[in-house]
Amino acid sequence: MPRKKIELENHVESLSILDADGNADESLVPKLEPAEMRKLLRGMLLARRYDERMLKLQRQGRIGTYGPALGQEAASLGPAYVLSKNDWMIPSFREPAGMLYRGWPMDKLILWWGGNETGSSVPEGIRDTPICVPVASQCLYGAGVAWGCKLRGDGTVALCFVGDGGTSEGDFHEAMNVAGAFNLPLVCVIQNNQWAISLPRKKQTASSTLAQKALAYGFNGIQVDGNDIFAVLTAAGEAVDRARRGGGPTLIEAVTYRLGVHTTADDPKKYRTEDEVEAWKCRDPLARYYKYLKKHGILDDKARDMMEEEIAEEITAAVEKAERYEPDVLEPWRYCFATMPNFLEGQLEEFQAYLESVSGGEGRSNHKRSELSENVH
Catalytic residue among 11, 59, 245, 271: 271
Residues in the chain: 377
Q: Please check whether residues 203 and 351 belong to one and the same domain.
A: no
pLDDT over threshold 60, residue 370: no
Q: Choose among 40, 16, 87, 80: nearest CA to 231.
A: 16
Catalytic residue among 53, 102, 262, 283: 262
Mean pLDDT of all residues in 347-367: 74
Instruction: Encode pLDDT of 294-333 as tens digits.
Output: 999 999 999 999 999 999 999 999 999 999 999 888 877 8
Cβ atoms of residues 377 and 335 within 8 Å: yes
Mean pLDDT of all residues in 348-371: 69
- Tell me what pLDDT residue 359 has: 77
Q: Please check whether residues 221 and 337 belong to one and the same domain.
A: no
> 295-332 burial, b if ≥16 CB within 10 A, otherwise e?
eeebbeeeebeebeeebeeebeebbeebeeeeeeebee
**Of 246 and 335, the one with more pLDDT:** 246
Q: Please check whether residues 276 and 300 belong to one and the same domain.
A: yes
Known catalytic residue at 271: yes
Instruction: Encode pLDDT of 254-267 as tens digits.
Output: 999 999 999 999 99
- R_g over Cα of the chain: 23
Mean pLDDT of all residues in 269-297: 96
- Tell me what pLDDT residue 366 has: 44
Is 2 within the bounds of a domain?
Answer: no
Confidence band, pLDDT 50/70/90 cuts, at residue 360: low
Is 129 within the bounds of a domain?
Answer: yes
Q: Structurally, how many domains does the chain consist of?
A: 2
Last residue of a domain, one of 283, 304, 324: 324
- Tell me what pLDDT residue 330 has: 85
Work out whether the CA dihedral 163, 111, 113, 49 comes out positive or negative: positive
DSSP 299-365: --HHHHHHHHHHHHHHHHHHHHHHHH----TTHHHHSS-SS--HHHHHHHHHHHHHHHHHHTT-GGG
Known catalytic residue at 258: yes
Is 17 within the bounds of a domain?
Answer: yes
Q: Please check whether residues 303 and 169 belong to one and the same domain.
A: yes
Q: Please check whether residues 34 and 112 belong to one and the same domain.
A: yes
C-alpha torsion 261→267→273→278, nearest 10: 30
Known catalytic residue at 262: yes
Cβ atoms of residues 243 and 250 within 8 Å: yes
What does pTM read for this prediction?
0.90
Instruction: Encode pLDDT of 18-74 as tens digits.
Output: 999 999 999 999 999 999 999 999 999 999 999 999 999 999 999 999 999 999 999
Mean pLDDT of all residues in 242-255: 98
pLDDT over threshold 80, residue 80: yes
Q: Please check whether residues 364 and 257 belong to one and the same domain.
A: no
Last residue of a domain, one of 292, 308, 324: 324
> 249-284 burial, b if ≥16 CB within 10 A, otherwise e?
bbbbbbbbbbbbbbebebebeeeeeeeebeebeebb
Q: What CATH number is given to the structural domain containing 309?
A: 3.40.50.970
- DSSP class of residue 131? P
Q: Please check whether residues 256 and 272 belong to one and the same domain.
A: yes
Mean pLDDT of all residues in 135-145: 97
Is 4 within the bounds of a domain?
Answer: no
Q: Please check whether residues 46 and 122 belong to one and the same domain.
A: yes
Q: Rounded mean pLDDT of the chain?
A: 93
Is 360 within the bounds of a domain?
Answer: yes
The C-alpha atoms of residue 14 and residue 235 are separated, in whole angstroms, by: 9
Q: Please check whether residues 183 and 101 belong to one and the same domain.
A: yes
- Tell me what pLDDT residue 149 has: 98
Q: Please check whether residues 206 and 348 belong to one and the same domain.
A: no
Is 1 within the bounds of a domain?
Answer: no
pLDDT over threshold 90, residue 367: no
- Tell me what pLDDT residue 337 has: 82
- By mean pLDDT, which of 125-129, 232-236, 354-358 is the weakest? 354-358
Mean pLDDT of all residues in 135-155: 97
Q: Please check whether residues 213 and 253 belong to one and the same domain.
A: yes
- DSSP class of residue 6? P
Structural domain harbouring 220: 12-324
Instruction: Encode pLDDT of 322-331 as tens digits.
Output: 999 998 888 7
Catalytic residue among 48, 53, 258, 288: 258
Q: Please check whether residues 243 and 345 belong to one and the same domain.
A: no
- Tell me what pLDDT residue 368 has: 44
Is 27 within the bounds of a domain?
Answer: yes
- Tell me what pLDDT residue 335 has: 73
- Tell me what pLDDT residue 88 has: 98
- Tell me what pLDDT residue 275 has: 96
Is 6 within the bounds of a domain?
Answer: no
